[in-house]
Structure 1
Amino acid sequence: MKLNMKTKFYLGVLVITALSLYVYIFAEFSIGNIGMFLFWAALAVVVESLLIPMPNNTIGVSVGYAINIATIIIGGPLLATTTAGLGFLLRVPKIEGRGYVHIFNLPPHKSVFNVSQSIIVTALMSLIYVNIGGRIGEFGLAQTIAITLVGALINTSIISVYLSLNSELKFIETWISNIRGTFPSSLAVGSIGIIIALAYIGYGYGAVILFFGPLLLARYSFKLYIEMRNLYLSTIQALNKTVEAKDPYTSGHANRVEKFAVDLAKAYHLPFTSIQNLKTASILHDIGKIGIHDEILNKASRLTKEEYQEIMRHPAIGAEIISKVDFLSDITTIVKHHHERYDGKGYPDGLSGDEIPIEAAILTIADSYDAMTTDRPYRQAMTPQKAIEELVNNAGTQFHPDLVKLFVSIMDN
């Protein structure tokens, strides 16, 4: 992935910050003994090599956070920061489709980012720990809880800024969509780090190896979560491909509708969860068409009354299909009611006004606009301006009037 100027500048800031923090820590703190350093450095490299790629393949998660917490408590800032940096620098994770990835076959900017980010997060955590009363080699409950929370926030924030700058997305959207699901798991892994530190303080290196098992169990939980997300995304795409194979018109339609719907939902200030549901519903809103005869879907002339009544069944069919899939159940009502009308003359249930879920009302406008501006076998596409006029003329009857005004303002910008 090529870096833009903003990302390059941000990367430079991270490097300078990491170097400054490390120089300060190197001058103010010591490691203790070489045996301790080698042991924890090796452990850091091992756990960082057990990387689990996220579904978007832009980031990965590891259980190295537990080792960071443990080394801060037992060895202090210099031990923790050095081992954390080495863990990222020397790790050799195996990535599906790419084989083993290491510093010699990874783009330089990624290695620089990974090491800098690791040093900054661990350095800040360790400095906070000693400055709020934490003692090196002793367990402080309040101090450890504080750095576990702060560390997770700093880590996710640094990564999200990096991704948002290079993708031109808003920070909060990137933070939520890419990392939100891993935050609770990071706190859980951090708690294992506390247990590892207590084991070392009380019983030495052998106990640390003993508690390495729970750390691997935490990694397995991480892996299950990521695989579940992969399955979720794959299922959505498979369902979408099924509709496209059934109705050639649908190819590209769902993705365009998704964009229009999400833009409108954001302008309406819907909460994040509602927007995510709307994104999924936009992709799958026509899934019910798999229950409609091909000759009706692909008819090159206008439909008869009977054929149109058959088409009108597709929202209910789609809702029935989706309701059987647990992780899609939240979008059932959106799919079912995306052909309702504001005046109550829509289908399948004749809902009107505020009875129609706001997500479904948004989807109705996005779907209608794309349908009007797309060529069909029996008519030419309208111009965008003409389609906007149709929306305005039917505001308050077919479409939610406030949403139409908002959509027009979006399209005018």
Structure 2
Amino acid sequence: MGDSKREQFAGVGDSSGGASAAAVAAEPFARPERPAGLSGLSSRAFDILRYSTGVILLFALWLTLSLQNWEGIPVYAILAFTLIALASELLPVTLPLDDAEITLTPIIVWGVIALFGPGAGIVVALGAAFTGSVLHKLVLSARPGQSRAGLWQYLTYNVTVIGITTCAGGLTYQALGGVRLGLTGLEGTALGPHVVWPLVAGTVVALSLDLFFYALGSAVSDSAQHDDISFDAIWMRAKVLWVKSVFAFLPSYVMFTPFAFVLAYLFVWNGLGFWGMLPILIPFFSLRQTLKLVTENIRAYRQTITTLATLMQKYHPYTRGHLKRVADLSLRLARELRLPAQSQQWIWEAGLLHDIGKVGVPEQILDKTTKLTDEEWEIIKQHPVKSAEILSQLEFLDPIVPWVRHHHERVDGSGYPDGLKEGQMPIEAAIIAVADAFDAMTGTRNVADGKSRNQCDACEWKPPAGTPMPEECPECGATLIRVYRQPMTPDEGISQLRYGVDTQFSPRVVRAFIRMMSREGLGQDD
């Protein structure tokens, strides 16, 4: 039983790649959860997934409806519950995780299943989900120029998943002896074994499947963009999304079952029927408000991260592009290395904030074009420690503190600040070290296609068409090319990474980096 209307998988059926220029400009440090520009492979892979789930839904519908006894079910109640569920679908809560949306429709649907059976539940679920998705996405929230084809792909997959999960959860309820409380009544019914426990089992099955299909759809879409649709790549991406979704919203999911039970109980209690369960609508929408507050807290955490990165950008404009590129490269490397879901969840933030301690380093030292003095070098070497100290003040960033502190360690033990060797430093720190070094060497070149950049790293100003990029941005004054060194080509940068293997860089990470770049058509073959 689907609990959410998920946001369109970026780029599916949308030539714009799913993100407008205005949206990117509004959040310059936006995390690339699903990078723009799906290839034809990605679209085909997602279509195969949609068609496969469609076949599963047809079988699930046939089985569910064939087992449903419709005798005695009041039509007015089904219509009324469908309207309430539709209202819930039109009042979604937007999650800060991939801009997905979640509704409280499951409470209504599970109440209907407990009252009248799985068949009635699937009618309410699909009726509300399809109508609500069409109204919400194609009418109320439609953006000018947005691809209707892409939205239709999203709608069909989302509604199909809702149908599958509702059928699976409803059939679980029925198989475990769940009764139709609206027809049997409360008298003589053992609520524990015949309603509550089957309801708990059904919701666990349904919500687990919903998160699985959501993670699977996002993983197929995302992995195909990097030409890596192997089982391992998709499975790891799905695990990351699972961790982010489950742990962020498990408390809200836990509340679905008791609310559904109370709804069904009030419907039957004292024979008041539909009017008897109306009082639950007040706590029902209060639960929605609670969920909204949870999402706002998470969004506030992410805005804190953006604020810290913006602080560094304002202090030293060059770092804006550098920080973003290091964060992106670090995330891609973590996926390439199949790191645990928790590491993949946080390494982008670590890459973005790894140099925040440089706010305490004088600008004349950072921009110095001649050799640093011993005293100046000692000041520079303190920035990882200062970065870690700043981030340690924010409890929710605790996982990334050691990664940031040790991103200048070397595998031979000659790095700083603690002289850690290979095996002593976190693998995440080794990833950031490689990403940081590569971007520092390739400078203002575009890692994605090897061409020189055509916009300012700091403010994203672009020169008129056909005009070469000046060395100093006329808008913000940022130096576009570091004057003490011409940027290397990607091949030259990779050669330097090879040279530093076993002394400066982790061999495992460099091999993964070269493998990743080779697959994307850049650099040398390993």
Q: Return the TM-score normalized by structure 2.
A: 0.69
C-alpha change, 1:316 and 1:199, in structure 2 (3 Å) is same
1:179 aligns with 2:245: yes
User: 1:377: which partner in 2?
Assistant: 483
The answer on whether the counterparts of 1:51 and 1:94 sit within 8 Å (CA) in structure 2 is no
Q: 2 CA distance for matches of 1:340 and 1:196?
A: 58
1:8 aligns with 2:51: no
User: 1:201: which partner in 2?
Assistant: 268
User: 2:434: which partner in 1?
Assistant: 365
Per-residue Cα deviation, 1:146-188 (whole angstroms, up to 9, x for no partner):
2111000121223333333444453552463363333453233
Kindly provide the amino acid, as one letter, of the partner of residue 36 in structure 1. A
The answer on whether the counterparts of 2:240 and 2:342 sit within 8 Å (CA) in structure 1 is no
Q: 2 CA distance for matches of 1:56 and 1:354?
A: 32
Q: 2 CA distance for matches of 1:172 and 1:86?
A: 34
Following TM superposition, by how much is the alpha carbon of 1:27 offset from its aligned partner in structure 2, in angstroms?
4.8
Q: 1 CA distance for matches of 2:240 and 2:517?
A: 26
User: 1:233: which partner in 2?
Assistant: 302
SS of the equivalent of 2:178 reads coil
Instruction: Work out the percentage of aligned pairs sharing the same amino acid.
Output: 28
Q: Specify every segment of 5 or more residues in structure 2 that has no aligned partner in the other structure, as ranges.
A: 1-10, 14-42, 182-188, 225-233, 445-481, 520-526
C-alpha change, 1:175 and 1:212, in structure 2 (3 Å) is farther
Kindly provide the amino acid, as one letter, of the partner of residue 429 in structure 2. A
User: 2:280: which partner in 1?
Assistant: 211
- Equivalent of 1:122 in 163, 166, 181: 166
Q: 1 CA distance for matches of 2:269 and 2:342?
A: 45
Q: 2 CA distance for matches of 1:263 and 1:163?
A: 16
Which range moved further: 331-340 or 21-30? 21-30
Which range moved further: 1-10 or 320-329? 1-10
The answer on whether the counterparts of 1:246 and 1:290 sit within 8 Å (CA) in structure 2 is yes
1:161 aligns with 2:202: no
1:191 aligns with 2:261: no
The answer on whether the counterparts of 1:92 and 1:100 sit within 8 Å (CA) in structure 2 is no
Following TM superposition, by how much is the alpha carbon of 1:53 offset from its aligned partner in structure 2, in angstroms?
1.4
Kindly provide the amino acid, as one letter, of the partner of residue 434 in structure 2. I
Q: 1 CA distance for matches of 2:435 and 2:89?
A: 44
Q: 1 CA distance for matches of 2:512 and 2:76?
A: 65
Q: 2 CA distance for matches of 1:115 and 1:406?
A: 38
Q: 1 CA distance for matches of 2:507 and 2:164?
A: 50
Q: 1 CA distance for matches of 2:307 and 2:363?
A: 19
Q: 1 CA distance for matches of 2:489 and 2:374?
A: 27
Per-residue Cα deviation, 1:97-148 (whole angstroms, up to 9, x for no partner):
x99449xx98444443443333322222222322332222264233222211
Kindly provide the amino acid, as one letter, of the partner of residue 128 in structure 1. T
Q: 2 CA distance for matches of 1:11 and 1:120?
A: 12
Following TM superposition, by how much is the alpha carbon of 1:57 offset from its aligned partner in structure 2, in angstroms?
6.0
The answer on whether the counterparts of 2:433 and 2:505 sit within 8 Å (CA) in structure 1 is yes
- Equivalent of 2:81 in 15, 40, 45: 40
Q: 1 CA distance for matches of 2:309 and 2:300?
A: 14
Following TM superposition, by how much is the alpha carbon of 1:74 offset from its aligned partner in structure 2, in angstroms?
0.6
How many residues of Structure 1 are paired with residues of Structure 2 in the alignment? 410
1:400 aligns with 2:467: no
Which range moved further: 167-176 or 131-140? 167-176
The answer on whether the counterparts of 1:156 and 1:175 sit within 8 Å (CA) in structure 2 is no
Q: How does 1:62-101 map to 2 (within 5 A)?
A: 62-91=103-132, 100-101=140-141
User: 1:319: which partner in 2?
Assistant: 388
Kindly provide the amino acid, as one letter, of the partner of residue 427 in structure 2. I
Which range moved further: 106-115 or 273-282? 106-115
Per-residue Cα deviation, 1:326-385 (whole angstroms, up to 9, x for no partner):
221221121122112233322223333433233212221221222122263201223434
Kindly provide the amino acid, as one letter, of the partner of residue 176 in structure 1. V
Following TM superposition, by how much is the alpha carbon of 1:234 offset from its aligned partner in structure 2, in angstroms?
1.9
Q: 2 CA distance for matches of 1:44 and 1:405?
A: 52
Kindly provide the amino acid, as one letter, of the partner of residue 125 in structure 1. G
Q: Return the TM-score normalized by structure 1.
A: 0.87
Q: 2 CA distance for matches of 1:113 and 1:406?
A: 34
Q: 1 CA distance for matches of 2:279 and 2:205?
A: 28
SS of the equivalent of 1:356 reads coil
C-alpha change, 1:12 and 1:205, in structure 2 (3 Å) is same
User: 2:29: which partner in 1?
Assistant: none
The answer on whether the counterparts of 1:74 and 1:136 sit within 8 Å (CA) in structure 2 is yes
- Equivalent of 2:205 in 150, 159, 168: 150
Kindly provide the amino acid, as one letter, of the partner of residue 384 in structure 1. P
Kindly provide the amino acid, as one letter, of the partner of residue 194 in structure 1. F
Per-residue Cα deviation, 1:269-292 (whole angstroms, up to 9, x for no partner):
431112323221111101111112
Kindly provide the amino acid, as one letter, of the partner of residue 232 in structure 1. Y
The answer on whether the counterparts of 1:243 and 1:289 sit within 8 Å (CA) in structure 2 is yes
Q: 2 CA distance for matches of 1:292 and 1:409?
A: 35
- Equivalent of 2:376 in 297, 307, 314: 307
User: 1:60: which partner in 2?
Assistant: 101
1:135 aligns with 2:191: no
Q: 1 CA distance for matches of 2:133 and 2:504?
A: 58
